[in-house]
Structures are given as structure tokens and as C-alpha cells.
Amino acid sequence: MPFKIPTVDDIAQPALAARLKHLLDNKTKPLGSLGALESVALRIGLILGSESPVLREPHLVVFAGDHGLAERGVSAYPSEVTWQMVENSLVGGAAVSVLARHNGIALTLVDCGVCHDFADRPGLRHHKIAYGTSDSSTGPAMSAGQCDAALANGAAVLRSLTGNAFLLGEMGIGNTSAASLLLARLAGLAIADCTGAGTGLNGEGVQRKIGILQATLTRHSEARTPLQALAAFGGFEIATMVGAVLQAAAERRVIVVDGFIASAAVLVASALQPAVLQRCVFAHRSGERGHALMLLHLRADPILDMGLRLGEGSGAALAWPLLVSACAVLREMANFESAGVSRQNGTAPAQKA
């Protein structure tokens, strides 16, 4: 059954935006002196429809899947690293596990299509479509039916979560290739500009990767719509993320976007429903080559720029305390009048009764 794309309404609210801007401008500080933190506070206020936004029960979901294209040598690591890293995360040893734990963020791993059978345990969801996608260099990575199933799984995962903040993460050897292909096709860019070292290819390896991806793009020249491209270039984890992002946007949750792969899911989701981008806070600019172009295409301003390229949702978890701080400033910081502080032009504060 075809996946029914949720309706994502435009939440532009000029009156609320003006009130939020007024509140921020009148806090006891020089105008604009909190920089990007003010922009983050305004965006979260708009998403949650509140002048006193509170982020509740944050949940970071790591979507994992394997890629048939990885067998062509587009990654510096073998495919079995995907399931090994899922296991590492489940026992608390991955970077994202540490960062989520220390920032009070609930963490869930979702098996979207890993080439491994996982035992049941807390923190793991089973939504395996198949044991990895097909090799997109020889045919579609997934069928239209598999793509629909992955989208539906993502929406179902999101609906099961409490709270109003959803942080995106992923794992999957070969998934930078899928993200590069999606960016090149949907943004109309050269694949060489969209392709980087991924997990650590050397210069020769990157050039070989570009050649494989260029041939893959050519093979799927007819895959032009967002869902056609998603099915052709694959990533069960990316498709599942797309479904989750669409559902989160429809429910007006704050969507905290990690790096290159997570942004690729947002790229597809926003091509289907443009208002998705109104609900997104982009955590960081990745060190992966194509991410700067992805952010430019999405007109996104990331919070951090630390050269991260790990994935897993690590950048989203790192940025999370800044989102919490932005909301606290909006709610709790005094204004000039209430604090009895003079303004920049020397205007005296109003006298308290």
C-alpha cells in the first residue's frame, strides 16, 4: 500500500515572530549580542507556538541499515561495522551513547535493514525491510514497495515517541554514497562536488568512489522525483528517517538534524513537504564535503562547525544543550524594565513602585 505523505502545514506566524523578536531584543543585553542563540530561541518558539517554549522529553533515534553499494568499495570500512556499531551503541559504548546519556536524551536504535539479526533488548526497535539494500550501481537500491514500507516504519516509530523534540541519527556503512547521490540528483549538482571521504577514504579511494557514483547516477537517469530518487539510491535507514521526519513535522515537533546523512533525509522530506524545514534546527556543519552544499541548498544555518563527520546523531546530541539554553534565555532572562537596567542610549529604567 503506498505511503500516505502527512500534511505539513505552513507555520509562519508573523505576529508571534514579532513578539518573540521584541522579547529577545528587550532582554538585558546589547541588541543581538547572543548571536545565533537568539535565532535558535526564535525558531523553537515558532515551532512550539509559544513565547515561553519548553523542550520536553528529547528522544534521539539512530536509524541503521546496510547498503549493497558498499560491496563496490565506496567505504574504508566493511559492512559488518554497521551491526557492530549498533551493538556498541546498545551497550553504551558509542559516542552517541555517551553524549545522549550525559545530556539527558533518551536513545533508541532502529534496525531498518542491517545485515545481522539482533536479539531483543531495551532500546532496540525491529523494523528490518531486508538484509541491506540492493547494489544501486546495478539496479534500484529498493523497490517502490520497500521504500513505502520504510517510510511507514519511520512514521510509526515517531508516533510512538513522547515529548516535543526529535533528534536524528543514523548508522550504515556506505550511506555517505547514498546521501551524495540524493544531493546530486535532487539539487542538480555534480557528483564530484557532493562526494567526500566518508569513513576515511584516501584521495585515490575518493576518486574511485566518484566514478562509481557517477555511473550509478547515469544508470538511474529516469529517477527524478524525490521518492524515485530515494528508491533508486537507497538507504533503508534514510527512507525510514524520511518517514519519521515527515511525521515529526506534521506533529509540530522540534526536529534536530545531525550531519550529512540526516540532512539527506530532510532534503527528501522537504522536497515532498517544503514546510518541513520550518520545524528543523540544524545542529552542525559536517566535515563531509557535500554537507556545506546540502545546507546551502536547504538554506539552513547550522549551530556548530567543529569538523564532525561521525554521524550517529553525535552532532545533534552535542548541540542539544544550546537549544535548552536558548529556550531558558527566552523564558527566564530579565528585560530592561523589570531589572531596572538602563538601555544603550542612556534611557533610564522605569521606577519600580
Q: What is the CA radius of gyration of the chain?
A: 21
Please answer whether residues 62 and 92 qualify as being in contact, where contact means their C-beta atoms are separated by less than 8 angstroms. Answer: no
Active site residue 237: no
Cell of 108: 533508541
Instruction: Report d(CA 137, CA 336) in Å as an integer.
Output: 62
Classify residue 198 as left (phi > 0), alpha (psi -120 to 50) or beta: left
Which cell goes with 194?
557532493
The span from the CA of 34 to the CA of 43, in Å, is 14
The partner residues of 281 in beta bridges, in order of sequence, read 256
**286 vs 112: CA distance, rounded Å:** 24
Say if residue 162 is exposed, middle or buried (CB neighbours under 10 Å; 0-12, 13-18, 19+): exposed
> Which residues sit opposite 316 in a β-bridge?
none
Q: Is residue 42 within a helix (H) or strand (E), and if so which, with residue range?
A: helix 36-48
Backbone angles phi, psi at 329, to 5 degrees: -60, -45
- Which member of 87, 251, 312, 337 is catalytic? 312
Distance CA 352, CA 343 (A): 16
* Complete edge-to-edge strand list for the sheet that includes strand 124-126: 124-126, 106-113, 59-65, 165-171, 254-257, 280-282
Residue 209's SS3 state is: helix
Q: How far apart are CA 95 and CA 181, in angstroms?
A: 27
Q: Which residues are catalytic?
A: 312
